[in-house]
Structure 1
Amino acid sequence: MRDKIVLIDGHSILNRAFYGVPDLTNSEGLHTNAVYGFLNIMFKILDEEKPEYLTVTFDVHAPTFRHEMFADYKGTRKPMAEELRQQVPVIKDVLRAMHIEVIEKAGLEADDLLGTLSHRCEEKGMDVSIISGDRDTLQLATEHIKIRIPKTKQGKTEVEDYYAADVQERYGVTPKEFIDVKALMGDTADNIPGVPGVGEKTATKIIQQYQTIENAYEHVDELKPPRASKNLKEFWEQAQLSKTLATIKLDADITFELENARHENPYTKEAHELFQRLEFKNLLGRFDVEASVNDVEKYFREVTGKEEIEKVFKEAEKAETVGVAFSKDAGNVLPLFAHASGYGRVSLCYEAEKIVTIPCDMDADFEYLTGKLSHLAKGVKRFSMCGLKEYLEWLPELTSENGFDAIVAAYLLNPLKNDYNAEDVAREHLNLLIDEKLDEGTKSCYEAYTAYACVPVLEKKLEENGMFRLFNEIEMPLVFTLYDMEQAGVKVEGEELKRYGEELGARIVELEKEIYEMAGEEFNINSPKQLGVILFEKLEMPHAKKTKTGYSTAADVLDKLAPEYPIVAKILEYRQLAKLKSTYADGLANYIGMDGRIHSKFNQTITATGRISSTEPNLQNIPVRMELGRLIRKVFVPKEGCVFVDADYSQIELRILAHCSGDEQLIQAYREARDIHRMTASQVFHVPFDEVTDLQRRNAKAVNFGIVYGISSFGLSQDLSISRKEAAQYIEHYFESYPGIKTFLDKCVSDAKEKGYAETLYGRRRPMPELKSSNFMQRSFGERVAMNAPIQGTAADIIKIAMIHVNEELKKRNLKSRMILQVHDELLIEADETELEEVQQILQDKMEHAAELLVPLSVDMHTGKNWYEAK
């Protein structure tokens, strides 16, 4: 039986993976999509081939023989994208960690290495599989050398296989003749010039008849078509150069010890650590290695028995910092003594060598353990957990002064990552790798240790990054504020919600009938393919955009058609109502609890700008643009004896822009409480303030708010349905009117490029890797974010400060009223009717004085018997 070797064209497969896999970055900001895609292709091949030997070849970034000799051709290759270039050394590190032979040599291209190695191995009586995305390698195919070309289709990797016979069947020429075909037809991807006017079909016919370009040249006057004959005469030297460029060397001067390429178990401890660092979590299952060996685990111990448990807590009370973890350990815990949620174990770390886990049992049930923890929380300087808010229900004595959430701290240091867990914190900040396959008790100990050990590390990093006060004075108190809001929830009238859904359903049925009548037939309105055929083929509407799957029926396409085609307007209405019904009328009903209230989750570690988000369900996305959408707010009601108070910051981002830019015109306008949009219209359109039309004011409003988001002339032209030239003039006049704003926005971009991050007034940082992208669209996006992040992030910080102060004041005065919702710049209070005036005064005071800016913060406030009335 013949031994087998797999040879992989490193750069070719890495390049294919880079363009085939969506962009991925790990928490260090390193691009990883090419490495991830490469590994998936390699594992697929190895699983299929099961070779005895494996080698990966790479180009060296130095001029090769062929580069130097034919610099006009190969030398003009497009430079490698920066995001791909940085992944080349990473894949080499990964391969070496997996004990996979890597071969590269200056002056030789990867395909020359493949040609030479495959030739040598075949001569030794081996079977060879070459893995490459470059069809040049087809010339290497023989009876024992198989060329395998991976292709990505719909996210899945498929592989085309070619022996010599397959090449002949597919291309009509032998592998050796394939070189001559390429010499004639050229290859723009490889900058092989070929012979002008000779395409693949003509080249193939010529070589099928004459076998080589030299033989074809001897019969050049007989070649057909005449153009091929004429051009081969004229460009014969170029054809010869092209053949040399296309020919892969079989005798390159390289040293290769076959035994070094022996393929054994690649799933080493070193590779496991690299995969964890790169955050390839779904590839870790391939490893059958023990958890990373470290000195921590030897200190883990399980404690049972009341006497031992009391001793542990007495020792912990003396510590400055305690790390705590809860875990769901149903397999080892008597359900009777665990919490209904499934939590049946707590773990503590109060010294580097004191890490204990305590399961719930007859001696210590869940209530007993959480009681001890809550008492412990009063005395220690730092009570640290990963994801503290989730556990505050059982820690009533913990405060924001000594509570420490490691996830929130880690998020502040890298807000581009939004799914932190204890393993991530351990890896990134303690250089500690935790195997995800550990038992619950061991994992719980690791989490407690991580929560303990990361406190000084994260505090130091926050201090170094200027975010220590932000963490202590805003983010940690906010954890407790959000917990209070989640516990309170908001009351929903279930029957009203049901009726609302029925009304929507009836209107949707009406619209269906009307659309079918106008179309002249029934079809699936929700099918873009069927809808496209109706609109652009049957009804012959303009603005058709053909895609691979049919005509585009995206909102931007339909919006252009709606004014002239009533059926399109009805389709848009149908879509909006269907979304309202499924997401809100039907969807919200699933979240109403036994108390008749929805308890949404408020997240502070999701958005890169620092904004709070809402999930399960998302109550920040309740529609506001359509009247029918706004009506859903009527189902949100205060409990009996209460009224809603809704307080909304007025133009907070524009006010922050005025403060940050120091623009005198804008500052003065806000101080005089002038109509900002009317004033902007007056400046931009050069008309007296009192003569500004409603349309001009609306357009100026779009410019005002668009500027905050770094809007382009194209974006503004789309928003206002004007030409790009007009939009550019609006923006130009705007900056002439407010020169301070232009200076400020330009500085935001230049600072972000220099520092690598944008920053709010409160020191919150938003890393800006997009500004270094080789992709123009990505860089442009980065520049817009660099302009907007300081403004939007500062607004987020201010609303957080207001929330904290309002919540604290309500509790301090022992009021029954509660803050129940936050929607970006808006706070909703369920106010007891007897406390209404006091609540309004608190809201006004705390929101308007949350920050001291060069312009006043203004709050619009309304009351009502439901959220619709209050808004």
Structure 2
Amino acid sequence: MNNRQLDFFPPANPEERIKNPATITKKPALFLLDGMAIVYRSFYALQRTGMTSQEGMPTGAIYGFASTLLKIFETYRPQYLAAVFDSKEKTFRHDLYPLYKANRQAPPEDLIMQLDAIFKLLEAFDIPLIKTPGYEADDLIGTASRKFSPMCQVYIVTPDKDLAQLVHEGVNILKPGKNQNELELLGKKEIIEQFGVPPELFIPFLTLTGDTSDNIPGAKGIGPKTAISLLDQYGSLQNIYNHLDTISPKNRQSLEAFQPTLDLITQLVTIRTDLQIDVTLKELACGLPDPAKLFPLLQKLGLKTISSRILALFGELQQAPSATAPLHEEPSSPFHEEEPALRSPRENADYARIDTVDKLMELMESLHDARHIAVDTETTSLDTFEAELAGISIAVETGKARFISFAQSALDRDKTVEILKPLLENPSLPKIGQNLKYDMLVLKKYGIELSPVAFDTMLASYVLNPEEKHNLDDLAAHHLGYRTTTFDELVGTGKTKQHIFEVDPEKLSDYACQDADLALQLEGVFRKKLDGETELLWLCENIEFPLVTVLAEMEYAGICIDTHHLEKASERVKKELELLTETIYAAAGSAFNIDSPKQLAHILFDLLALPPKKRTKTGYSTNVEVLEELATLFPIARDLLEYRSLQKLKSTYIDALPKMVNPLTGRLHTTFNQFITATGRLSSSNPNLQNIPIRSPLGKEIRRAFIPSTPENWLLSADYSQIELRIAAEISGDPQLLEAFRNREDIHTATAKVIFDTDEITSDMRRKAKEVNFGVLYGIMPFGLSRRLNIPQKEAKAIIDTYISKYPGLFKALQEIIVTGREKGYVTTILGRRRYLADLNSRNTNLKKAAERAAMNTPIQGTAADIIKCAMNLCSSRMRHLNMKSVMLLQVHDELLFETTDAEKEPLSKLVEQAMIDAAIRCGLKNVPVLVDTGIGKNWLEAH
């Protein structure tokens, strides 16, 4: 045991005193880690990330545990620390109550695999392990906190609420938050706020309510609210039982029935504080980690970020030989460079502020022979219509950048912009940047059309691996080894936050120069990676980069909406909701809060005795899936689904859209996100227009509100017909699918004929065939199809089996995609766009099945994404070539929406239809015909 104290930390600064308990009290601080609770929480919190080492070992729990550990060191600077774990043996509670924890499932295999590495991590950190046969970690923590609290301020690090009973003046809880790097300090005040009872009443609270996770029963019908109320009124369990005659009959009956087991349950929920533990405070003293053990372990696990944080935290380890060993990124990714310890990008950099006309003209002279230029803007807002330009940073060579500043500067912004305009619009000078669409929109306001977009580092990162983080700070750390200055660090947060024009001019200049310089450096890194990946380079240069300009123009143009129409729709929906509410109340037999899941569950499953379908931690679920399953037999469930649908559309669109109209333009300006989805699909936000239902009556009314900017103009809609099924036919080469499309048959009717082996197809048969057609592309299983079609699983399985036997080429192709994805670690679109799916090799069956469904769907949905993006580029360039007044307004799924004039509506319709067909061919649809449906109207609904 290394007993050396952590005296190598610098003193805490005053701002840290609030969050650093070690600086508040004169006592030294002891931190007790509830080991398995933190491991479980980390495992499930990070399970979906698919973090693995290069050998395929899962590492999410290790990463989460290490993050929590480092957060303690970074924030609290502990003098003493220990990790406490359960033992494998049964405990005294099992002797008292054989059903104790009988409902607990065995830990997942993927979690168990990570425990050995976590113990090795603790050993490398020289952190002692406290474990005693026959006792749980809770009892050991309780005993240790009691033993050492007279000498130390004790902090129990746990997500487990049961340990709240241990909190008193000398003992607090640190609760890991939703973010792995958050720790919430809980003292007596916070315990009361979170749970409704003080720590000293937590044992009687748990006694009354029980603990479902440990299979400990409470008093029947006494939930947390009732228990809190009783304890608040009577102060103790004994006093509650002394006043049973004053308690409501229902609760009195429950308490009387519970009384014989009262002592047993109290013993089960009480954490022991009187065990014998042979450990001294001196043995718990924090020491330096052992680099010879620590860094090889982290290297093997691929936990590079953890290594970087350790190097930044423990300065004395910087020179350790193991610390410089090459490390792999986590989660493992095949295209990331090895990353050194993080350093500042300003080291040895040539950054300067341009704040006078003489400096500006000198800079312009130096840029005459530039081969390319990296550009970044600094503004007052993320809203490009509100944003005021504070300056423009540029870089033409790595390590050197200049910031043209309008903050505390002698430069006139308007005159400077005029001087910069020819440079920034020069079509022969390639522009480089990070998220250039934002800069383009800001500069548009000032009369500059930034072009051409030669390289966007955010999009290059997205194309290389869509699952990664693409913000500049993360990219700089992962690919360049830089620890950047963040915007919050520049301007501050909360009450200390400064307006950007108030920031120290040199600090602002360094920050701005950093951004342009890093974009240029990242361009070099990503270009090397893309040079070795021909298909990905083609995607960047021919689809993603050109699309930046197209999307910027669409966002800037915006779209008009008929707010009066939406106001009338809101009134109609309000009345419909009121009628539905009365119908639901009548079926329930009483009024209640329909929006409260707890009250709704009580009505449905307790009072009406409907069969519950799914249980959650807080009771029976009332989610959409449950209601849909109940709706086939119970009208109240159908009404609830209708209520929720109407209410959501009313709040999300009908009432919200008019408020989102920009007062400066009178239009709605959605943001198109090019780097969000894993499949390559565009998404939209503020507002999200991708989720407006197409076929529901209310969805149609919402679309009716989208109108041209003038009464003389028209909206034109162009929509690919069944593009995903056509892509599936192309990828699989299935002869029957191809033949159906070539014969221009209705594909769902054709499939119905194949499945049901008849030419007499009813509308119900076609509906089922349609569900199967699209369901197969998403890896639908009999259970899912049976729910969609409201048929028995046996019938659903028979339909799927028939489908597979009739379209063997399609099914074989989908299975081959999974096999290839398992071998390569990723699947691709026809053009080669990749999606990495580490869980294809997961030992967790649920994760593996989900990854297989994603693997089957991604090449199809991803190719559809490539096609619509390519179509947008072609439409835009051809419209520009013909000098059309028409503009592209929206992209929603496989549909494009334009505003056009009376004179241009016919030629535009032909142009768009041909461009969309050409785009599909360019993106790989060589053997299947492509159809585009176009329409023109005075609103979106009419056009569609």
CA contact (8 A) 1:32 1:278 kept: no
| 2:293 match | none
Distance 1:154 1:673, change over 3 A: closer
The TM-score, its normalising length taken from structure 2, stands at 0.69
1:457 to 511, 525, 528: 525
1:389 to 424, 431, 437: 437
| 1:623 match | 693
Q: Distance in 1 between matches of 2:450 and 2:70?
A: 51
CA apart distance, 1:746: 0.8
| 2:412 match | 365
Q: Distance in 2 between matches of 1:272 and 1:540?
A: 60
Residues 166-315 of structure 1 mapped to structure 2, 5 A cutoff? 260=287, 270-271=312-313, 292-293=343-344, 296=347, 298-315=349-366
- Compare 387-396 and 587-596 and name the one that shifted more: 387-396
Q: Distance in 1 between matches of 2:878 and 2:82?
A: 65
Tell me, yes or no, if structure 1 residue 352 matches structure 2 residue 376: no
- 1:830 aligned counterpart, secondary structure: strand
Identity rate of aligned residues, in percent? Answer: 33
Larger Rg: 1
CA contact (8 A) 1:11 1:58 kept: yes
- 2:835 aligned counterpart, secondary structure: strand
Distance 1:671 1:722, change over 3 A: same
Distance 1:533 1:358, change over 3 A: same
- 1:691 aligned counterpart, secondary structure: coil
CA contact (8 A) 1:292 1:435 kept: no
CA contact (8 A) 1:4 1:51 kept: no
| 1:53 match | 79
CA apart distance, 1:21: 3.8
| CA deviations over 1:515-557 (Å, ceiling 9, x no partner) | 3344333222222222233333333333465544344322222
| 2:681 match | 611
CA contact (8 A) 1:321 1:452 kept: no
- 1:827 aligned counterpart, secondary structure: strand
CA apart distance, 1:111: 11
Q: Distance in 2 between matches of 1:154 and 1:508?
A: 35
Whichever residue aligns with residue 619 of structure 1, its letter is L
Whichever residue aligns with residue 465 of structure 2, its letter is N
Q: Distance in 2 between matches of 1:322 and 1:356?
A: 11
Q: Distance in 1 between matches of 2:440 and 2:625?
A: 45
CA contact (8 A) 2:41 2:159 kept: no
Residues 121-140 of structure 1 mapped to structure 2, 5 A cutoff? none
Q: Root-mean-square deviation (CA), in Å? A: 4.9
Distance 1:857 1:519, change over 3 A: same
CA apart distance, 1:56: 5.2
- Compare 573-582 and 534-543 and name the one that shifted more: 534-543
Residues 219-618 of structure 1 mapped to structure 2, 5 A cutoff? 260=287, 270-271=312-313, 292-293=343-344, 296=347, 298-328=349-379, 341-360=387-406, 363-377=410-424, 378=426, 381-393=429-441, 394=443, 401-417=452-468, 420-436=470-486, 437-438=489-490, 439-465=507-533, 466-543=535-612, 545=614, 547-594=616-663, 595-618=665-688
| 1:700 match | 769
| 1:285 match | none
CA apart distance, 1:855: 0.4
Q: Distance in 2 between matches of 1:413 and 1:87?
A: 32
| CA deviations over 1:352-408 (Å, ceiling 9, x no partner) | 343222211664333344444442231665311111111224267767655321111
| 1:15 match | 39
| 2:246 match | none
Q: Distance in 1 between matches of 2:793 and 2:385?
A: 62
CA contact (8 A) 1:57 1:103 kept: yes
Distance 1:366 1:52, change over 3 A: closer
CA contact (8 A) 2:126 2:286 kept: no
CA contact (8 A) 1:381 1:402 kept: no
Q: Distance in 2 between matches of 1:109 and 1:313?
A: 77
Q: Distance in 1 between matches of 2:629 and 2:37?
A: 43
CA apart distance, 1:625: 3.2
Q: Distance in 1 between matches of 2:514 and 2:817?
A: 41
Q: Distance in 2 between matches of 1:91 and 1:322?
A: 50
CA contact (8 A) 2:78 2:286 kept: no
Tell me, yes or no, if structure 1 residue 679 matches structure 2 residue 727: no
CA apart distance, 1:648: 0.8
CA apart distance, 1:468: 0.5
Q: Distance in 2 between matches of 1:598 and 1:616?
A: 9
- 2:403 aligned counterpart, secondary structure: strand
| CA deviations over 1:648-690 (Å, ceiling 9, x no partner) | 1011011011111111221122112122222222222222xx3
Unaligned runs of 5+ in 1: 64-76, 172-186, 189-246, 281-289, 331-337
The TM-score, its normalising length taken from structure 1, stands at 0.74
CA contact (8 A) 1:21 1:37 kept: no
- Tell me how many residue pairs correspond in the alignment: 743
CA contact (8 A) 1:26 1:279 kept: no
- 1:851 aligned counterpart, secondary structure: helix
| CA deviations over 1:812-832 (Å, ceiling 9, x no partner) | 111111111111101111121
| CA deviations over 1:606-638 (Å, ceiling 9, x no partner) | 111110111111122222232133122111112
CA contact (8 A) 1:12 1:132 kept: no
Distance 1:84 1:613, change over 3 A: farther
Unaligned runs of 5+ in 2: 1-24, 89-104, 192-198, 205-213, 216-274, 291-307, 319-326, 332-340, 491-506
2:939 to 852, 866, 869: 866
Tell me, yes or no, if structure 1 residue 803 matches structure 2 residue 872: yes
Q: Distance in 2 between matches of 1:788 and 1:10?
A: 41
Distance 1:248 1:572, change over 3 A: same
CA apart distance, 1:564: 4.1
- 2:392 aligned counterpart, secondary structure: strand
Tell me, yes or no, if structure 1 residue 781 matches structure 2 residue 827: no
Whichever residue aligns with residue 271 of structure 1, its letter is L
Distance 1:753 1:399, change over 3 A: farther
| 2:793 match | 724
CA apart distance, 1:738: 1.2
- Compare 31-40 and 590-599 and name the one that shifted more: 31-40
- Compare 500-509 and 377-386 and name the one that shifted more: 377-386
Q: Distance in 1 between matches of 2:463 and 2:314?
A: 27
Q: Distance in 2 between matches of 1:5 and 1:566?
A: 60
Q: Distance in 1 between matches of 2:817 and 2:380?
A: 50
CA apart distance, 1:586: 0.7
Distance 1:812 1:321, change over 3 A: same
Distance 1:870 1:671, change over 3 A: same
| CA deviations over 1:824-852 (Å, ceiling 9, x no partner) | 10111112111111011101211112132
